[in-house]
Amino acid sequence: MIAVIDYGMGNLRSVVKGFEKVGVRAEVTGDPDVVIAADGIVLPGVGAFGMAMEHLRRSGLDEAVKTAVAARTPFLGICLGLQLLFTESDEFGPVRGLDIIPGRVVRFFPEGAPAGIKIPHMGWNSLQRHTPSPVLADIPDGTHVYFVHSYYVVPDDPAVIAATTEYGGQPFAAAVTQGPLFACQFHPEKSSELGLRMLRNFGMLVQQSSRATPA
């Protein structure tokens, strides 16, 4: 079973519906024990970084996520769920994150955006693939995916960057990968057929990992 983490913030139903469309079972839970026991984990999210971390810590879900990732449980982070993996965020901060991936979360154009560039970044942008990930299997370079965000991640190690894009002339990491962990700034559940293919690919990764785990 894939656990979609409910910490009081996020687009939970649209993520679950996305998995349903590709025939993958996913259930919403706020129980840390269920998260640790799950075959796969999804951390979605929309909203403020600091408030999200507060909810995760208060519920014990922060440690559950760390435990599951350390155990190499397949993990998918979406939007804020990507940013929360990092060491800290500049959003009303610095604010400490989960520190699973070393790096920072920074704001687009803190000194002012170029003329005609609006913040938040909202819309479709094309991906350029870098480090391979099973979640991006059969996803061609140039695939357009849907973004809604004002901050983006800057990993300390560029090797974890699975895909990049750019906004207003600013290139940034659109997705990262680390073992069975994949996290993206865009919303695959809102990114048409190829976005749903990513959800299907993640479901396949979970199935393969579950079969490989001794009973």
Q: Each residue of 156-183: pLDDT tens digit?
A: 999 999 999 999 999 999 999 999 999 9
Q: Tell me the two tokens of residue 48.
A: 């403020």
Known catalytic residue at 189: yes
CB 106 within 8 A of CB 154: yes
How is the chain split into domains, by residue range?
A: 2-212
Residue 129 identity (one-letter amino acid)? R
Which range has the worst mean pLDDT, 41-55, 62-76, 132-146?
41-55
Please determine, looking at this structure, whether the domain spanning 2-212 carries the CATH number 3.55.10.10: no
Q: How far apart are CA 160 and CA 177, in angstroms?
A: 5
Known catalytic residue at 187: yes
Looking at 79, 91, 130, 149, which residue is catalytic? 79
CB 74 within 8 A of CB 205: yes
Tally Cβ neighbours within 10 Å of residue 136: 24
CB 79 within 8 A of CB 186: yes
Looking at 91, 166, 189, 193, which residue is catalytic? 189
Known catalytic residue at 149: no
87: Cα separation from own chain's centroid? 15
pLDDT for position 112? 79
Q: How far apart are CA 40 and CA 76, in angstroms?
A: 8
